[in-house]
Amino acid sequence: MEFRFLPQVAAIVDYIWPIVGGAIAVIFVLIALIVVAKYGALWFRAYMSNAQVSLMSLIGMSLRQVNAQLIVEGKVMAMQAGIPGVTTRRLEAHYLAGGSVLSVVRAIIAAQRADIDLDFDRAAAIDLAGRDVVDAVQTSVHPKVIDCPDPRRSGAALLSAIAKNGVELKVRARVTVRTNLGQLIGGATEETVIARVGEGIITSIGSAQTHLEVMESPELISKAVLRRGLDAQTAFQIVSIDIADIDVGENIGARLRADQAEADVRVARAKAEERRAQALAFEQEMKARVAQNRAQVVLAEADVPVAMADAFRKGNMHVDGHGQS
């Protein structure tokens, strides 16, 4: 009895199976069409460029929320430039870390063309450190010039320094630097270079005997500053320091000497006034002593009649016929 319906079930299965199989085939075809429509052009571009990026890798990038077009573009650029070691996985990892894939690849290509040793790991580290890796490579190839002082940062157009003779010199320098890729990560920035160069210029001018020495040979400042090794622990290497402008300012020494002389005069006047006041006080004291002595004389003169009267009373004094006692 329990096998009575088997023929009917087999008939139903035979009827439905072609339909289900066709539906599954249609679904697979649709999926294939969608994949080809979405990734076909990208995969074909990678294939023609020998970038070795499979369709499964492209699908996996989408699942990992990675910009597949960006990765393929970077991989194609690297393969066309003949850069070794740039794999799809490394590009994806750098993208997921928040880096700029194309900037890193462009920087490596530029470094390779300029015969600069820069691998993918270092370029990626520079990029993740927040530095413009492309600009760093370009600056290594083509040094850039920075002003000292920089009016955009400090607001001052000239440095002020004073020679030993007290004359002020106002100087503007132009510093030519190239990027030091080995110290770009953790190295000091342009602000430090500008500050060190400014300090060196002020020190060099301050050690000059007269401002005329500096005016006669401005290159002495550049040589003295370069000898100080101001680019140590910075992201740059100083190529040259050139004095672009030098002007004579105030004679600070003369002004200070005049101020000192005026201060000395005030001190002398104060001391003279002090001595005058002491003299006046001494004069008044002498006048008071004279008055006191006069008063004592008057008192003594007043005691004479009393003493004479007392002498007469006691008979110690008498008057003769000539009126003498």
The CATH number covering residue 149 comes to 3.30.479.30
Q: Do 149 and 129 reside in the same domain of the chain? A: no
Does some domain include residue 297? no
| pLDDT at residue 5 is higher than 70 | no
**Minimum mean pLDDT range among 214-223, 264-273, 305-314:** 305-314
**Minimum mean pLDDT range among 97-101, 209-213, 251-255:** 251-255
- The residue out of 76, 110, 139 marking a domain boundary is 139
Q: Do 189 and 92 reside in the same domain of the chain? A: no
- Contact indicator for 230, 184 with CB cutoff of 8 Å: no
Of 225, 220, 255, which is closest to residue 239 (Cα–Cα)? 225
| pLDDT at residue 9 is higher than 80 | no
Q: Do 151 and 163 reside in the same domain of the chain? A: yes
In the prediction, which pLDDT does 30 show? 60
Q: Do 199 and 242 reside in the same domain of the chain? A: yes
- The residue out of 204, 234, 254 marking a domain boundary is 254
The most confident of 168-172, 252-256, 313-317, by mean pLDDT: 168-172
pTM of the predicted model over 0.85: no
Does some domain include residue 295? no
Q: Do 126 and 186 reside in the same domain of the chain? A: no
Q: Do 25 and 45 reside in the same domain of the chain? A: yes
- The residue out of 202, 225, 254 marking a domain boundary is 254
Q: Please tell me whether the peptide bond between 149 and the residue prior to it is cis, using omega within 30 degrees of 0.
A: yes
Can you say whether residue 176 is alpha, beta or left, with left for phi > 0 and alpha for psi between -120 and 50 degrees? beta
pLDDT tens-digit series, residues 132-164: 888 888 888 888 888 888 888 777 888 888 888
Q: Do 83 and 146 reside in the same domain of the chain? A: no
Does some domain include residue 54? yes
In the prediction, which pLDDT does 82 show? 85
pLDDT tens-digit series, residues 52-84: 888 788 878 887 888 888 888 888 888 888 888
In the prediction, which pLDDT does 1 show? 43
In the prediction, which pLDDT does 132 show? 86
Q: Do 110 and 146 reside in the same domain of the chain? A: no
Type of residue found at 188 = A
Does some domain include residue 270? no
In the prediction, which pLDDT does 246 show? 86
Q: Do 26 and 105 reside in the same domain of the chain? A: yes
Q: What is the number of domains present in the chain? A: 2
Q: At 26, is the pLDDT very low, low, confident or very high (cuts 50, 70, 90)?
A: low
In the prediction, which pLDDT does 104 show? 92
Does some domain include residue 234? yes
Q: Do 94 and 162 reside in the same domain of the chain? A: no
Does some domain include residue 221? yes
Full domain range(s) for residue 41: 21-139
pLDDT tens-digit series, residues 177-235: 888 887 877 788 888 888 888 888 888 888 888 888 888 888 888 888 888 888 888 88
Token representation of residue 175: 């510093």
What rounded mean pLDDT belongs to the chain? Answer: 80
| pLDDT at residue 176 is higher than 50 | yes
In the prediction, which pLDDT does 105 show? 92
Vertex 311, ends 306 and 317: CA angle to 5°?
A: 130
Does some domain include residue 148? yes
Of 53, 58, 99, 49, which is closest to residue 77 (Cα–Cα)? 49
